[in-house]
Amino acid sequence: MPRYKLILEYDGGPYNGFQAQEASQPTVQASLERAILGFSGETVRVVTAGRTDTGVHALGQVIHFDLTKDWKPQVVADALNAHLVPEPIAILSAERCADDFSARFAATSRRYLYRILNRRSPPALDHGKVWPLKKPLDAAAMHTAGQILVGLHDFTTFRDVQCQAKSPVKTLDSVRVWREGEEVRLEFSARSFLHRQVRSMTGTLAEVGAGRWTAAEVQTALDAKDRKACGPVAPAGGLYLVEAIYPTASK
């Protein structure tokens, strides 16, 4: 049974996250599975690299699924894009992959980007795609404070109370913060993240950028291992899953 690996992008605004839920709730997964059924006649279950939350976007989400018929990958991509019109989901590429490949479990790293629009005027074209903050932010101070979070830690402070992960201990591989024009951008890389961890860390680092927190207070919050010690949680609209990385052999 052929297995296909697809890379896609989507606007998460209209969806209640990636993962399929009740029939009345629009999700990215449900839309994809309807499109697959529409072109192939097969009911499949899509496996994803990252189950993004409500309102979170993707630039390079990875999924896999199996089909009975051996379709050419480009035919799969083109057919899905046709069946997804007019939804804000686009298949960027498709390929045949190994029968034991898993979009979820084979990923060795996931990279997220958070966009903060740092100006007095609200966003017009990027409404729902950025977090608008009027107070000038010190991106360098945010970057310095972000290095406190890098490494193996108990991230209970930055973990949503509804997180279902077995352990709050995660390894954050890197944090980078920089200014790009009117935007302050934050990039986080790790093998896996806790529920709303990136948005929680972003909100806390924004407090540093605004001068309301110091780097030492970020350290204190991390050490507290207490959700109440977290700064404000950044809204979903500014968050993007950029890519999932796999070993070269996982194809």
Q: Give dist(CA 128, CA 199) in Å, integer.
A: 15
The residue whose two tokens read 């979070």 is 149
109-118 and 47-48 beta bridge pairing: unpaired
Give 89's strand partners.
10
Active site residues: 53
CB 116 within 8 A of CB 133: yes
The residue whose two tokens read 């999932």 is 244
Phi/psi of residue 6, each to 5°? -125, 145
